[in-house]
Amino acid sequence: MENKKSLLYKDSGVNIKSANNLIKKIKSLARKTHAKEVMNNIGGFSSLCAIPKKYHQPILVLSTDGVGTKLRFAIDNNIYKNIGVDLVAMCVNDIITQGAQPLFFLDYYATGKLNLDISIKIIEGIITGCEISKCSLVGGETSEMPGMYAKKDFDLSGFCVGVVEKSKIINVDKVNIGNSIIALSSSGLHSNGYSLIRNIIKKNKIDYHNYLLDNKKLIDHLLIPTRIYVNSIINLIKKINVHAIAHITGGGLIENIPRILPKNTCAVIKEKTWKWPNIFSWISKIGNIQKNEMYNTFNCGIGMIIIISSKDIQNSLKILKDSGENAWIIGKIIDKNLYKQSIYFENFFD
């Protein structure tokens, strides 16, 4: 009888040794993000974290998100250094909309074939994002799934826990007719609309390795990391009574701004207060994308919207600009009965 070779797990394309080596590397990288509330190191079955003692009635604020099809551009071009920043940004920017300080972050990384060099670059980006947002990377999961992903392909998910004093939670109840709307500029496309961009590039047969826009390759525009607004907004809410905050992600301005408005109000957005960055004008022109679709898909140069009392305008702008933000008054809150809709773009057809 012929002796058959005993099968090993790695014969199926899964190398546990590689995963263990990655975990060892992550431990040393993640440790420098740890606040004193982190009670154990990465490598256990779960993470132990304490709530900071300065809170009297701490409320946990939770968020999860991914990077989406922006990953396709990173994978196809072997550019991984900032994709981890995107992952953290998409989660922590959601957390701060309710006035919470991000505390702890976990990631989920699934790939067809674990490549240590690529994996470490991704994790280093996550570490950078956590350092910027003063958030501790406390754990995660790495999964090698050869039957689900092609060798180089991978997906990322992030999970964030933040905390806010109960009395300081930011919600729509504070928004009133007559309030002013502040915009914070985005760093670029952030992490939304990339499926549409891929379609535009494919249909127009554009070589994004060589195609120049503003003397920079198109691929470099596409992979600019999502801006993290944590420190700027935390500085603001310490000094100003902020009424509401919207993170402009999937659904663009049209879907995200109404999410922070009471039913009887309308946000009037004054288009003449800012100029779209060239990447958005390029997408609209090359793809023949109408303005309404642009506003419903992309951030069009605006990463965050903040609603405040009109009396706080000057102080708010100064605090934000001192924190490094490009901030300006973009509109106001009015009675919804005037336009019968939640958001109205002034000068839309100009």
Choose the weakest-confidence range: 24-33, 46-55, 169-178, 282-291.
24-33
Q: Give the pLDDT score at 18.
A: 60
Determine the pLDDT at residue 349. 44
pLDDT digits (tens, 9 = 90+) for 96-119: 999 999 999 999 999 988 888 898
**pLDDT at 7 > cutoff 80:** no
Closest-CA residue to 189 (of 242, 229, 227)? 227
What's the CA gap between 121 and 83, in Å, rounded?
9
162 plus 200 within the same structural domain: no
Residue 341, domain member (yes or no): yes
Distance CA 219, CA 223 (A): 6
The more confident residue out of 347 and 193 is: 193
pLDDT at 75 over 90: yes
User: Tokens in use for 349?
Assistant: 């057809």
Rounded to whole angstroms, the Cα distance separating 127 from 22 reads: 14
pTM: 0.91
pLDDT score for 45: 80
Q: What is the mean pLDDT of the chain?
A: 91
Model confidence at 222: pLDDT above 70: yes
> Taking residues 264-292, what's their average pLDDT?
96
**Quick check: 11 pLDDT over 70?**
no
Residue 264, pLDDT > 60, answer yes
pLDDT at residue number 41: 76
Closest CA to 102 of 131, 125, 66, 122: 131
Residue 118 lies in a domain: yes
State the pLDDT at residue 150.
86
Task: Note whether residue 2 is domain-resident.
Answer: no
- pLDDT at residue 177 is higher than 70: yes
The three-class DSSP label of residue 70 is helix
Q: Give the β-pairing of 154-165 and 212-213.
A: unpaired
Are residues 292 and 152 both part of a single domain?
no
Indicate if 231 and 299 belong to the same structural domain.
Answer: yes
Strand, coil or helix: 114 = coil
Least confident of 31-40, 219-228, 305-314, 336-345: 31-40
Residue 333 lies in a domain: yes
**The domain boundary residue, chosen from 133, 168, 203:** 168
Residues 69 and 135 both lie in one domain: yes
Report residue 350's pLDDT band, with 50, 70 and 90 as the boundaries.
very low
Residues 6+ apart with CB under 8 A from 215: none
Domain boundary among 110, 143, 168: 168
Q: How many CB atoms lie within 10 A of CB 118?
A: 17
Encoded tokens for 292: 């309404």
Domain assignment of residue 133, given as a range: 9-168
Rounded average pLDDT over 132-151: 88
Task: Examine residue 1 and state whether it is found in any structural domain, yes or no.
Answer: no
CATH number at residue 195: 3.90.650.10
According to the model, what pLDDT value does residue 194 have?
Answer: 97
Domain count, the chain: 2
Least-confidence region, from 148-152, 196-200, 285-289:
148-152
Do 188 and 333 fall within a single domain? yes
Please list, residue by residue across 46-69, b when 16 or more beta carbons sit within 10 angstroms of its beta carbon and e when fewer do.
Answer: ebebeeeeeeeebbebebebbbbe
Residue 259 has pLDDT above 80, yes or no: yes
Compute the CA torsion angle 42, 43, 44, 47 (nearest 10 deg): 20
The CA-atom distances, in angstroms, between 54 and each of 101, 124, 168, 295 are 12, 30, 13, 40
User: Token pair for residue 143?
Assistant: 């999964």
Same domain, 284 and 158: no
Which strand (E) or helix (H) includes residue 335?
Answer: strand 327-335
Tell me which of 168, 183, 217 is where a domain ends.
Answer: 168
